[in-house]
Amino acid sequence: MKIKKGDVKLKAFTEILISYFQEHKFNLSKDIFITDVQMDSKKVTKGSLFIAINNGNNYVGEALERGAEIVICDRDIKELNFSNVIKVENSIESLQNLAKLYRKKLKLKVIAITGSEGKTTTKDLIFGVLSKTYKVKKTLGNHNNHIGLPYTILQLKEEDEIAVLEMGMSGLGEIELLSQIAAPDYAVITNIGDSHLEFLINRDNVFKAKTELLKYVSPERTLLYGDDPYFKAVDGIKIGFENQNDYVINNEKDSYEGLSFNLNEDSYFIPLNGAYNTINASFGIVLGKILNIDYLEIKESLKDIEITGMRFQKIVKDKTLYINDAYNASPVSMKMALKAFASLPLERDKVVVLADALELGDKEIEYHKEILTEALKYKFYKILVYGERMKKASKILNDPKIIYFDDKMKIKDFIQNMENIGVLLKGSRGMKLEEIIM
């Protein structure tokens, strides 16, 4: 196979692939050369390695037609008679093993981010700070689990210098697995909250799950939110609002354009709202300092930051200002969003739309009642709620300011009949509140 100039990026991976399958009694031709790794058959091009995950086994034929160099599958399919189709016991395990081997070959630094809230925004902010100085890649979309993280690693190039990898989980042992694959050099844990309590039962277990990462990174390369009670006795670089932290956030001021704040003595501005984003930005600032980026470069890079959508995203439609914070939700993040929205200076009436927070376990109605109680503390014009959990919680509170809707489109109609309003949308991913804006 003729190698194009641009294809040299995966030379190391091709060598790993050949060696890996030799150990598993598959002899691949030394002439193969992999140009990229895909899990979506529609993205396969000539030279791709296609790894068929779950239903992907049904699209092996399509991947071959598109020019896949090698296909890995784990089901009996008609294409098994092709010399470049390899059947393994488990495609996901092969994906993970190949990513682990490739990571060892790469000379880059890995920054691993986990926590109950703020992972994606923190990832974006760290990427923004570092990417003007280094060749940096970050987690693709929401590829932060046992499939997405190894897939992201297999998208890295040998010339990349830093990878910023988000680590998600829903149970014990998952961060451990991701850490073994990613072999992180630096760790960031944003906080310990109430996410995934349906599976983990309590915050103590959330703490155990998130801190599985700490076994793989030394304390002097571990960044923690120091105000979180769970981190008081944990060694690491601590960032927060309290004076005992290594880096203290102070003088924060919120405007429509964003946040200005100090970290220790240095001043910064980010085009984001909500005091919690000063914490997320500070993780990026401190990592920038550790990696020898000077103050002015860090300061300038933060002004141009680009954040993944549906994270306190401002959208104006039909003269209504929407704050789309509807990517996901937990009790902690919903309360933070309510506080941020309440403090946002707007010459408009403020309306909040709150949908169910999912995966909270036996105390889910109590948590939703707490969220609505928090919303009632602020001077919001109306509180519109959607979802069975919000319905039950609103009935308990029985406040005339809270209005329940059984259909998102009815909320949309209600909003369209109002004038000069700002609307916060906040709920779990499964509730898809962003459809109200469409």
Give the structural domain span for 151: 106-303
- Whether 286 and 217 share a structural domain: yes
Domain boundary at 94, 120, 148, which? Answer: 94
- Whether 333 and 426 share a structural domain: yes
Assigned token pair, 115: 């926590």
The pLDDT tens digits for 210-255 are 999 999 999 999 999 999 999 999 999 999 999 999 999 999 999 9
Domain for residue 100, yes or no? no
- Whether 264 and 126 share a structural domain: yes
The pLDDT tens digits for 267-320 are 999 999 999 999 999 999 999 999 999 999 999 999 989 888 899 999 999 899
Per-residue pLDDT, 7? 46
Domain for residue 134, yes or no? yes
pLDDT at 349 over 60: yes
What φ, ψ does residue 98 adopt, rounded to 5°?
Answer: -65, -40
Q: How far is residue 343 from each of residues 41, 274, 275, 309, 379, measured CA to CA in Å?
A: 46, 8, 10, 21, 10
- Whether 89 and 111 share a structural domain: no
- Whether 45 and 133 share a structural domain: no
Domain for residue 31, yes or no? yes
Please compute, for residue 127, the number of CA atoms within 13 A of its CA located in the half-sphere on the CB side.
22
Summarize the confidence of residues 18-45 as an average pLDDT.
90
The pLDDT tens digits for 109-154 are 999 999 999 999 999 999 999 999 999 999 988 899 999 999 999 9
Q: How many domains does the chain have?
A: 3
- Whether 123 and 223 share a structural domain: yes
Confidence band for 5, pLDDT divided at 50, 70 and 90: very low
CATH value at residue 18? 3.40.1390.10
- Whether 28 and 110 share a structural domain: no
CATH value at residue 228? 3.40.1190.10
Domain for residue 210, yes or no? yes
Per-residue pLDDT, 2? 38
Look up tokens 């009642």; give the residue.
369
d(CA 104, CA 185): 12
Domain boundary at 74, 94, 114, which? Answer: 94
